Structure 1
Amino acid sequence: MADKDRVYIFDTTMRDGEQSPGASMSLEEKIQIARVFDELGIDIIEAGFPIASPGDFEAVTEVSKILKNSIPAGLSRHSKKDIDRCYEALKHAPRFRIHTFISTSPLHMKHKLNKSPEEVYEAIKEHVTYARKFTDDVEWSCEDGTRTDLDYMCKTVELAIKCGAKTINIPDTVGYTIPSEFTKIIQTLLNKVPNIDKAILSTHCHNDLGLAVANSLAGVQAGARQIECTINGLGERAGNAALEEVVMAIKTRPDLMPYDTGINTTLLSKASKIVSNATGFPVQYNKAIVGKNAFAHEAGIHQDGMLKNRQTYEIMTPESVGVKQTSLVMGKHSGRHAFKDKLNSLGYPDLTDDVVSNAFAKFKVLADKKKHVYDEDIIALIDDSLIIDNKVNAINLKSLKVFAGTGEPQKAEMTLDVFGDVKKTSETGDGPVDAIFKCIKKLYPHDVNLQLYQVHAVTEGTDAQATVSVKIEENGKTTVGQAADTDTLVASANAYINSLNKMIIKRDKTAPEEQFENKQMKGI
């Protein structure tokens, strides 16, 4: 693409993003993030504010040493000490950018800087000129730009370019503007600043009104060719424009935004996870592009459409941002079509209509109780329905007493009906559940591997019903048993027995096939 169609991505996750309360990153984490960003194709990486702390200085220094493609940048105020510190941190890189800024809005000049517009004007002349001595890549920002008088902004931008700034950044520092207003600001600068052709205009939008991405894109459509942004929208207060959102918006709508960013979008999900892990800030489930639910569909109508054609409800593929596949989340809004598709994917392609109907009815009841219905839950429902369909229930719990507490070994007394034969026993164990499972194994001898024992409450309160899941494995075959009861120990016994009953069915179903295979191998 021509230069006029190239949008440069300036990432400030490690500078502005780290200014989020609680989002501090270690040097090792910043280096790890920088390597991923370099691979991602980010043009400029603002690695910190070198004068702010020894840690920031060290981070900018080390990041500037390892980047192979991206240009490292450091932030400085209009102070020669700040600019010197920036240079010292960045000088190890073959190319680097010094990003210097000063407030230009009447509110900031008066109450933050205690300077007149004339004094700010002179400060721009002095410090942009000084920064230009260290590098020909100087960026200048007018802090609180969207609350700055437009005539004064044009005057200061013209001066900054005259003094050597090659990038002019217009920050919406407090997230105050809206797209139409930001469009006007960019267009005014392009029309009224005589030397604007010698610089690239940049956007830096905060998200206080939830408009950071919209304002950034409006700026690009108006003529800006750099976007300052952060992964996951990290940043002060409500955050910055989210890198993954602006990039994918441009990629998805070339009809309205025929621009190129040079970003390898298949690494966006990876970058999101690394930043989330480093900062400890979880990504909200419904976050655009990189959220857990960004490519998940639960509503039956949506799932049906997705199964017929992915484009019905997805405007981009999950693979394009590094997500393996679309997820049809099974929940109370899911329809029968999606349920049958899920059964096929779980290895149940040839179930009878009765079994599917029975399982689907149970699934709807379960989905009303649980926020998340996992594959194991659905397998359990199918196996339950197969038990009903086969009229088989080999083992039944008749009674259970458990003795637990301090000072004495935990003990269980149990009565089971095993193939019509009522049996009793008692066992001790390392806890009441262990004692229960030992009783079952004694009354019905078997050799399986216990792969999962999980308990969770269906509702809140001490009288909540407990749902217990038990997963067992035998010769490569697995079954999942579930049971619910207000007595967790009773639920545990029934869940284990449930899994055994399913295993018996699987043995019966596969036995004829195994016998046939053995005969074939023996040549009979």
Structure 2
Amino acid sequence: MTTDTKPRVRIFDTTLRDGEQSPGATMTHEEKLEIAALLDEMGVDIIEAGFPIASEGDFAAVSEIARQTKDATVCGLARANLKDIDRCWEAVRHAASPRIHTFIGTSPLHRAIPDLTMDEMADRIHETVTHARNLCDDVQWSPMDATRTEWDYLARVVRIAIAAGASTINIPDTVGYTAPRESADLIRRLIAEVEGAEDVVFATHCHNDLGMATANALAAVEGGARQIECTINGLGERAGNTALEEVVMALRVRGDIMPYETGVDPSKIMAISRRVSAVSGFAVQPNKAIVGKNAFAHESGIHQDGMLKNRENFEIMRPEDIGLSGTSLPLGKHSGRAALRAKLESLGYAVEDNQLMDVFVRFKALADRKKEVLDDDLVALMQSEERSQQDTIRLEHLRVVCGTDGPAEAELRLSVDGTSKQAKASGDGPVDAAFNAVKALIDHRARLQLYQVAAVTEGTDAQATVTVRMEEEGRIVTGASADTDTVTASAKAYVNALNRLMVRRGKAGGDRAEVSYKDAG
């Protein structure tokens, strides 16, 4: 009797490392631990928890994730020098399954940065991979910008890394340059021509600069790669990384032509997508594959008719497959706690009794202002709740007078660590006035880069989700909030961004920087 088992593809999630490098994607220590726990629970094979030598905050997060993770391998990133590797090992060593991931740029452009000859770089690769292997049994090595590295040199350094003890060879498309056919051919050729290739796992790490990250990753698997590096929601530098939800569901839906399996539980995708969006401050675009708001929406009459006759006419996967509720039954102001808890659980939110009490108060306030509270309203409410849980600066009161006569005026009261301060300010419109009132209280030099408003649902009573992005001395932060009052949502989003700025200011020490008040007069 034989069993038909599919080849296994490992899922290596780098949301907490490469994902957090996306400008404005700031996560606190507690948020990183939470995301790591969700990744572990959903069956991710390897969690790249951070870059331990980058800061004390990163080191502390990687160390704690290493201690708390139950099943996944915990990986830290290190440059090709002994100090980085030692620091990385110190952070991951307490994991049940630790991994050191060390890298160096091998393309002609990257070789020029440390001003190393080809031979000098080859020697450094041998030295650093050997050092990492003496510390840890599981070593991953990456030739950064591999897809723009000369073939002969790439094959040479991969051979050296394998001989030095690397058990995983990751081939990064660092700037999203390659195309699917090239991605598959490169992996296939490395496996065929490099000595020792049969003894290691080849991995693929793709960026989305040309919109081909997922296609390139899947092509690499066809070429023989058995590890995909990816992030939740495709979060990452520039145009982002390969999206975990896309490769997992592509392998699941198209198993007929891609007969591979992962250990990821797809029913947990939607919940972690929403959580990463909330903690990073990066909204998921409506037309995003798998997890976008419109991914299972059908507006065309022909499509709607086909859906009513047979869902498979226009859906290749079910909403329930990724953890989405199949129905959207609205709640109202007469709904109780039990109904709210059941609805939140169907949306992927598990709430304790104390948290339910707080959420219920917010839900009732929302229900008093809306005729009915839809699923999307609850998601927006929960995301706002999650963003504000650790905020030390909070909006207590806002009143704005605006209209055709003269400048708008805002009266605002903020609480910082329990101390209330208030200020008045004017501006060119209600939002500008509200922001100026915040500036009158909180000392910062951040410049507003982005202000964006989107309706959560339809109707004049719809909640507005506001996103702001700010920059101060190279630190980029994103804040977001939702409210039926657009000006209130704007002020809350601005305050949320300032809270994240405090995290950025204090990141070197792993703590939140102190907030400086201004004398508002």
Shorter-normalised TM range: 0.5 to 0.7
3-state DSSP of counterpart to 2:183: helix
In 1, the alpha carbon distance for the partners of 2:253 and 2:328 equals 20
Question: What's the counterpart of residue 51 of structure 1?
Answer: 53
Question: What's the counterpart of residue 25 of structure 2?
Answer: 23
In 2, the alpha carbon distance for the partners of 1:327 and 1:298 equals 16
Question: What's the counterpart of residue 215 of structure 1?
Answer: 216
Contact 1:265 1:320 in 2 (8 A): yes
In 2, the alpha carbon distance for the partners of 1:79 and 1:138 equals 14
In 2, the alpha carbon distance for the partners of 1:31 and 1:177 equals 34
Cα distance change of structure 1 residues 468 and 213 upon mapping to structure 2, 3 Å threshold: closer
Give the structure-1-normalised TM-score.
0.62
1:249 deviates by 0.2
In 2, the alpha carbon distance for the partners of 1:150 and 1:3 equals 34
Contact 1:295 1:326 in 2 (8 A): no
Offset from partner CA, 1:33-61 (integer Å, 9 cap, x none):
01110111000000000000001000100
Question: What's the counterpart of residue 93 of structure 2?
Answer: 91
Cα distance change of structure 1 residues 312 and 129 upon mapping to structure 2, 3 Å threshold: same
Question: What's the counterpart of residue 315 of structure 1?
Answer: 316
Which one scores higher on RCO, CA 8 angstroms, separation ≥ 6?
A: 2
Matches within 5 A, 1:30-429: 30-110=32-112, 112-325=113-326
1:247 deviates by 0.5
3-state DSSP of counterpart to 1:24: coil
Contact 2:70 2:96 in 1 (8 A): no
3-state DSSP of counterpart to 2:204: strand
Query: Aligned AA for 2:218?
Result: L
1:2 deviates by 8.2
Give the structure-2-normalised TM-score.
0.62
In 2, the alpha carbon distance for the partners of 1:94 and 1:468 equals 51
Contact 2:6 2:259 in 1 (8 A): no
3-state DSSP of counterpart to 1:297: coil
Offset from partner CA, 1:262-295 (integer Å, 9 cap, x none):
1000000011011011101000011111111111
3-state DSSP of counterpart to 1:51: helix
Contact 2:100 2:136 in 1 (8 A): yes
In 1, the alpha carbon distance for the partners of 2:84 and 2:273 equals 31
2:8 matched to 1:6? yes
Count of aligned positions: 336
1:468 deviates by 7.8
In 2, the alpha carbon distance for the partners of 1:74 and 1:63 equals 10
Query: Aligned AA for 2:75?
Result: A
In 2, the alpha carbon distance for the partners of 1:237 and 1:188 equals 29
Query: Aligned AA for 2:195?
Result: P
In 2, the alpha carbon distance for the partners of 1:326 and 1:284 equals 21
Q: Let me know the Cα RMSD of the aligned residues.
A: 2.1
In 1, the alpha carbon distance for the partners of 2:161 and 2:22 equals 29
Cα distance change of structure 1 residues 326 and 196 upon mapping to structure 2, 3 Å threshold: farther
Runs of 4+ in 1 over 2 A off after TM superposition: 1-4, 374-377, 466-469
3-state DSSP of counterpart to 1:126: helix
Cα distance change of structure 1 residues 154 and 467 upon mapping to structure 2, 3 Å threshold: closer
Contact 1:296 1:326 in 2 (8 A): no
Contact 1:78 1:101 in 2 (8 A): yes
In 1, the alpha carbon distance for the partners of 2:322 and 2:118 equals 45
Offset from partner CA, 1:367-402 (integer Å, 9 cap, x none):
xxxxxxx9899xxxxxxxxxxxxxxxxxxxxxxxxx
Q: Which runs of 5+ in 2 are unaligned?
A: 330-370, 375-458, 463-521
In 1, the alpha carbon distance for the partners of 2:461 and 2:78 equals 58
3-state DSSP of counterpart to 1:46: strand
3-state DSSP of counterpart to 2:324: coil
Offset from partner CA, 1:436-473 (integer Å, 9 cap, x none):
xxxxxxxxxxxxxxxxxxxxxxxxxxxxxx9689xxxx
In 1, the alpha carbon distance for the partners of 2:36 and 2:322 equals 19
Question: What's the counterpart of residue 451 of structure 2?
Answer: none
Query: Aligned AA for 1:218?
Result: A
Contact 1:297 1:327 in 2 (8 A): no
In 2, the alpha carbon distance for the partners of 1:276 and 1:468 equals 24
3-state DSSP of counterpart to 2:141: strand
In 2, the alpha carbon distance for the partners of 1:321 and 1:17 equals 21
1:3 deviates by 8.7
Contact 2:72 2:97 in 1 (8 A): no
1:164 deviates by 0.4
1:114 deviates by 1.2
In 1, the alpha carbon distance for the partners of 2:158 and 2:171 equals 10
Contact 1:63 1:72 in 2 (8 A): yes
Offset from partner CA, 1:209-267 (integer Å, 9 cap, x none):
00000000000011000000000000000000000000000000011110011100000
Offset from partner CA, 1:110-129 (integer Å, 9 cap, x none):
2x221111111001100000
Query: Aligned AA for 1:318?
Result: P
Contact 1:318 1:326 in 2 (8 A): no
1:181 deviates by 1.0
In 2, the alpha carbon distance for the partners of 1:245 and 1:4 equals 19
1:94 deviates by 2.3
1:151 deviates by 1.4
1:93 deviates by 1.2
Contact 2:26 2:281 in 1 (8 A): no
In 2, the alpha carbon distance for the partners of 1:117 and 1:4 equals 40
Query: Aligned AA for 2:277?
Result: S
1:296 deviates by 1.1
Offset from partner CA, 1:478-500 (integer Å, 9 cap, x none):
xxxxxxxxxxxxxxxxxxxxxxx
3-state DSSP of counterpart to 1:174: coil
Cα distance change of structure 1 residues 20 and 126 upon mapping to structure 2, 3 Å threshold: same
Offset from partner CA, 1:144-201 (integer Å, 9 cap, x none):
0000011111111111011100000000000000001111111110111021011000
Query: Aligned AA for 1:325?
Result: G
Contact 1:183 1:218 in 2 (8 A): yes
Query: Aligned AA for 1:99?
Result: H
Query: Aligned AA for 1:176?
Result: Y
In 1, the alpha carbon distance for the partners of 2:156 and 2:460 equals 69
Cα distance change of structure 1 residues 122 and 8 upon mapping to structure 2, 3 Å threshold: same
3-state DSSP of counterpart to 1:113: coil
